[in-house]
Amino acid sequence: MRHFLTLRDFNKEEILEMITLAQKIKAQTKQKHYVPYMERQALGMIFEKSSTRTRVSFETGIYQLGGIGLFLSSNDIQLGRGEPMRDTARVISRMVDMVMIRTFSQKKLDEFAAYSNVPVINGLTDEYHPVQLMADYLTMIEFGKADNPVCAYVGDGNNMAHSWLMLAAKLGFELRVSTPEGYECDAAVVVDAMRFAEESGAKLIIGNDPGAAVTGADVVTTDTWVSMGQEDEKERRVADFTGYIVDDTMMSHARDDAIFLHCLPAYRGYEVSDAVFEAHAEVIFSEAENRLHAQKGVMVWLDAHRDS
């Protein structure tokens, strides 16, 4: 049985298999041809962090696959009253066919998966956001930016930066990550990514100069400077990220046909200007929609690999 906890657990071929499945299922969905790949299956969706895209995409996705999604807020189940994660895992996984968790600590997710009888999907943790990167790569394919791309991530060295490092390292493309000093990616994640890059031929460049990172890039991406749970740090973070807004000036260093991606929600005037956001709105909201389709590819792939 396989879980989907981080992209570090998959090789290039497996990632592309999921993407290919997502493309197939998306095409069927657009034709209103809903194939019951997961008929009568139940997806338990545990939320310790709230979300718009994660809940709607998973709940709609499992329904379109022929199953049902169960929204389980931590406030509504025993997990929120102090039940150990391992006990919650052993209970819920006996009643559903797959589990998605959106939580804070990657360790909590890993513990749940270790005690689960069914596949577990990472809907987001503080360390990784792999389902978002599946949607991002699907979007890159659709907009013609997946053939040996140069990608630039500008901003906080957070779960999105970590996931971009893993995707690039696994698939073998060039990624430049630029963060302010003191906001670099986790050193252990970087070590892992560099090791995978040696195997795939990926080129990973990590620094503190956003202009250099964006120069000549095919894809430019960023994330909020103030993630959920960091609201009390907002004033300091905004000051520390001076010069990291993706605006027209920064985008002018990228290729003329470069696309801009954002996992949303976007805070205009902080990590991205309103002008850049609106200029790339079609790409951004296609990216948001692709959460639905990419995650269906992940779920169907995991269901097919229960015995592996």
pLDDT above 70 for 305: yes
204: β partners: 175
Q: Give me the residue label for tokens 């954002």.
A: 262
Give the span between the Cα atoms of 37 and 287, in whole angstroms.
23
Q: What is the pLDDT of residue 232?
A: 79
Contact between residue 121 and residue 298 where contact means Cβ atoms under 8 Å apart: yes
The fourth-level CATH superfamily of domain 131-287 is Aspartate/ornithine carbamoyltransferase (3.40.50.1370)
Judge if 7-129+290-304 and 131-287 fold alike in CATH terms: yes
Catalytic residues: 102, 129, 132, 223, 263, 291
Which tokens sit at 298? 């992940």
122: β partners: 101
Q: Could you tell me which residue, 172 or 80, shows the higher pLDDT?
A: 172
Specify the 3-state DSSP secondary structure of 290: helix
pLDDT above 90 for 308: no
Q: What is the DSSP letter of 272?
A: B
164: closest CA among 141, 197, 198, 142? Answer: 197
178: closest CA among 204, 205, 210? Answer: 210
Where are the domains positioned within the chain? 7-129+290-304, 131-287
Give the span between the Cα atoms of 135 and 26, in whole angstroms.
12
Mean pLDDT of the chain: 96
Predicted model pTM: 0.96
Report the CATH number of the 7-129+290-304 domain.
3.40.50.1370
pLDDT above 70 for 275: yes
Which tokens sit at 209? 């100069």
Using one digit for the tens of pLDDT, what is the confidence trace for 45-68? Answer: 999 998 999 999 999 999 999 999
Q: What is the pLDDT of residue 227?
A: 78
Using one digit for the tens of pLDDT, what is the confidence trace for 239-267? Answer: 999 999 999 999 999 999 999 999 999 99
